[in-house]
Amino acid sequence: MDSLVINAATYWLPESIPEVMSLVNDARTGGEIICVRGSAHSFPLIGDLEKGSSHGRKYKYVMLSKLNAVAITGTMVTVQAGCNLGPDPWDPTGISSLEKSLLYKLDQQGLSIPDLGGITHQTVGGFLSTGSSGGSCTYSFEDALMAVDIVTCGKSGAAVTTFRRPADNNPDDPFFGVGIASLGLFGIIVSATFQCHKKFFIAGQEATTTEDGCEIALFTNDGTKPSLQKFLEETQYTRLIWWPQQHVNKMVVWKAWQATESDAKKWAYPNDPNPDAQPLKQYQEVPWIDDSPTPANLGAHFLFSAMGRWPTWLINAMGDNIKSQTLINLVDVSFYPLIFPAVLDIFVKLDGPDGPQRFCDVWYTGLPMDNQMSDKLMPVWFTELWISIDQTQQVMAALKKFYDDKPENAGKFSCEIYGTKSNMFWLSPSYGTDVVRIDVFWYADSSGDPREYYQKFWELLAPYKFRPHWGKYLPAPDSQQGVSYLQGNYPKWQAWKNLRDELDPYQLFVNDYWRAQLDIAVLK
């Protein structure tokens, strides 16, 4: 079996399900713990695990990149867990490509999945395991999932266990414990089956305005504009990017809806007498230069890194002396009133006389609007807090007051707002309710600890019973927003843990990270 060294960790690359079972059996015999890596989009988790275990049991690292087969029968697709949703440009194995990706293959067969996340380089297994989702209260990636196949390990050794969606959607069925947000703690997901929809196109627009000029009543509901809750509930696909800093106060509203190709082009080319003859018009998240978003990514990275590392890089260059301190004081006084707004005007321009940007695209390249932003060239970390949608206006009002009362709380980057449809998967953050998602961003190439910044938001939004995205930064397990707090926000928490114990009696899949985050007792 081939292997690959990544960040000093040796990853096994099984080519078949029997080879996966062999790795699991070897781990049981050797007293090891299995750690499966997807696209590494869950940055805090991957970084911690590749350092190795601190509790005596060695980690056995696995990547499923060679398990990427896709089988389509009618409107049903069964895909192996190592297949990427879309191409992963940073795949260390070099296997991922557009032609091998699930979404491309579905599109070629006239099929689709009704909702996608903002990016699509994740593996199928990783996307399912972390409970990821798209920005829609109308459509759901989770609703399309019909079955998962997992390699578990009991007294008889490794075996493939299939969990199928029950015909009556019984919410107590184990399928809802395993299918979404399993966190890799039941076993190794090796394949999944989805019910596909007919291929579609999207039409949409992105408007960049001030907070006051936004089409939505963001913080109050006085009846003159639709409330944010109503907007999230009634818009097929949407996301908002909020720049809440004083002297900036901008809101970027991206929204889209399903359409035929002809209707989508008519929307995108409103003044063209023959829009059907035009090509699809791709959304541009940043200004494109030479038909590419890369130059803007590089420019933004330079500027946000300079701001994020300030004043550390200046002191390193000039030394900690009177001259450098004078310059630091001068910049600090003018940063938020002058410098930061000027930087934002380069990348986040208010709409001009032509109005919002209009676009039209095919489903699998249009819905993941953040694919243009490189994880490497524009590294952004975040904590993502999911809150029942009926508290949307209270949450937005609390955030607005939080930023206005203490301007430094706004930081040096943006906040993202999504809606997500409810589902019945036990540890999904949208279990039982539509949610509003608050994503607090931190530019990765910055000085300081993002957890200290996030802690302010965890404390602020704790009264609204947030559930965090499992693949992003989580509160410390022993904090007030840690294990006890989270346990109280998931009605099926104990049922999930009981099922986990049943399927993994030897704790072959419990790494140090999840043991702490979920308070899983050490096996005796």
The pLDDT of residue 297 is 67
Report strand pairing: 59-63 vs 9-13: parallel
Strand partners, 112: 197
The pLDDT of residue 323 is 67
What's the rounded Cα separation, in Å, for the pair 142 and 81? 15
What's the rounded Cα separation, in Å, for the pair 388 and 294? 37
The CATH architecture of the domain made up of 201-295+351-468 is 2-Layer Sandwich (3.30)
Question: Which distant-in-sequence residues (6+ apart) come within 8 Å of 131 by Cβ?
Answer: 180, 181, 425, 427, 428, 429, 469, 470, 471
The pLDDT of residue 343 is 81
Helix (H, G, I), strand (E, B) or coil at 176: helix
Q: Kindly report the number of other CB atoms within 10 A of residue 347's CB atom.
A: 14
Q: How far apart are the two ends of the chain, measured CA to CA in Å? A: 32
The pLDDT of residue 47 is 67
Q: Kindly report the number of other CB atoms within 10 A of residue 58's CB atom.
A: 11
- Cβ atoms of 359 and 285 within 8 Å: the answer is no
> Alpha helices of 375-449 — where are they, by DSSP H?
392-405
For 2-199+492-518, CATH gives 3.30.465.10
Report strand pairing: 357-362 vs 59-63: unpaired
Q: Going residue by residue through the chain, which has 524 residues, state the pLDDT in tens, using 9 for 90 and above.
A: 999 998 889 999 999 999 999 999 999 999 999 999 998 887 666 667 777 787 778 999 999 999 999 999 999 999 999 999 999 999 999 999 999 999 999 999 999 999 999 999 999 999 999 999 999 999 999 999 999 999 999 999 999 999 999 999 999 999 999 999 999 999 999 999 999 999 999 999 999 999 999 999 999 887 889 999 999 999 999 999 999 998 999 999 999 999 999 999 999 999 999 999 999 999 988 777 777 777 766 777 667 777 777 666 556 666 677 766 766 666 666 677 877 888 888 888 999 999 999 999 999 999 999 888 777 667 788 999 999 999 999 999 999 999 999 988 998 889 999 999 999 999 999 999 999 999 999 888 888 899 999 999 999 999 999 999 999 999 999 999 999 999 999 999 999 999 999 999 999 999 999 999 999 998 87
The pLDDT of residue 442 is 87
The pLDDT of residue 221 is 80
Sign of CA dihedral 64, 92, 368, 212: positive
The pLDDT of residue 8 is 87
- Cβ atoms of 454 and 411 within 8 Å: the answer is no
Task: Kindly tell me the burial class for residue 405, based on how many C-beta atoms sit within 10 Å of its own C-beta (0-12, 13-18, 19 or more).
Answer: exposed
Closest by Cα among 180, 170, 117 to 145: 180
- 89: tokens are 């440009």
Q: Where are the domains of the chain?
A: 2-199+492-518, 201-295+351-468
The pLDDT of residue 337 is 82
